[in-house]
Amino acid sequence: MSSALLAKIHFISALLFLILYLVKLILLFTNKKALQSMTAVTKVPEMIISTLFLVTGVWLLVILGGIKLFHIIKLVFVFLAIPLGVIGFKKQRYAAAILSVLFIVLAYGMAEMSKNKPFLPAKVVMNNDDGSPLAQGAKVYHANCVFCHGTDGKKMYRTAPDLSTSSLDALSMQGMITDGSKGKMPAYGKVLSAEEIAQVALYVQSLKTGSNIQVNP
């Protein structure tokens, strides 16, 4: 399963989880009998949604590599929200229910914020004059691009395109690397030199399906 599909499942399950808890909170204050009926009906779906939310979140961290403080805080919010929700809605404890919804809102909000920001900052790679332009492009690519695009260009994390099927030529690719894409890809124009950007663009061409460009081992 691709990381892009996992990310979509993760965000959808988070949204459903949030909506479910918000509805329960409203019913807790307005119609406790309806809340009891809803809790009985949604018990299994809620377990499925919460499991999807947690499993896809952990899976994304594993396949994408690296756990940051941001992710730890988000997971803590989710793990706190679930037992608080059980106590709050089942035993009709207002404080626990409100805290549960608050933690879900915070977790979902953090997920939405991270979705519109590059996960990793651009990094500078010192040039080595001993290598060919293609080899240098490979070094820069592996230092800056593999997290979202993968070593073969097919990772497609979040909204990253499959570079093996990209229709951009080397010149257009240079423009994309230089300017980036708002909310999807950081701009490298002020981080990498024009030469390095051209080298990366050349290397990306070698990742395309059917390309006869090869990096020497």
Read off the CATH number of the domain in which 163 is found: 1.10.760.10
User: Is 214 a member of any domain?
Assistant: no
Of the residues 60, 88, 115, the one at which a domain ends: 115
**Token digits of residue 200:** 């990366």
Q: Say if residues 11 and 115 touch (Cβ distance below 8 Å).
A: yes
CA–CA gap between residue 84 and residue 8 (Å, rounded)? 26
User: Is 91 a member of any domain?
Assistant: yes
Give alpha helix (H) positions in 91-154.
Answer: 94-115, 133-144, 146-149
Instruction: Show the domain range for 11.
Output: 3-115
CA–CA gap between residue 22 and residue 4 (Å, rounded)? 27
Residue 73 identity = I
Q: Is the domain of 96 the same as that of 8?
A: yes
Task: Name residue 61's beta-bridge partners.
Answer: none
Q: Is the domain of 151 the same as that of 180?
A: yes
SS3 181: strand
What pLDDT shows up at residue 23?
A: 95
CA–CA gap between residue 154 and residue 164 (Å, rounded)? 6
Query: What's the number of CA atoms in the CB half-sphere (13 Å) around residue 45?
Result: 11
The tens place of each residue's pLDDT in the chain, 217 residues long, gives 555 667 778 788 888 988 999 999 999 999 999 999 998 899 899 899 888 888 887 776 665 555 566 667 877 888 898 899 989 998 889 999 999 999 988 877 766 655 544 444 444 454 554 578 888 888 888 888 887 888 888 877 667 788 888 888 889 999 999 888 776 787 888 888 999 999 999 999 888 865 555 555 4
CA–CA gap between residue 158 and residue 3 (Å, rounded)? 7
Buried b (16+ CB within 10 A) or exposed e, 141-153: beebbbbbbbeeb
Q: Is the domain of 19 the same as that of 107?
A: yes
CA–CA gap between residue 99 and residue 88 (Å, rounded)? 9
Of the residues 115, 149, 179, the one at which a domain ends: 115
What pLDDT shows up at residue 96?
A: 95
- Cα Rg of the chain (Å, integer): 22
User: Is 215 a member of any domain?
Assistant: no
Q: Say if residues 48 and 148 touch (Cβ distance below 8 Å).
A: no
Q: Is the domain of 141 the same as that of 111?
A: no
What pLDDT shows up at residue 124?
A: 47
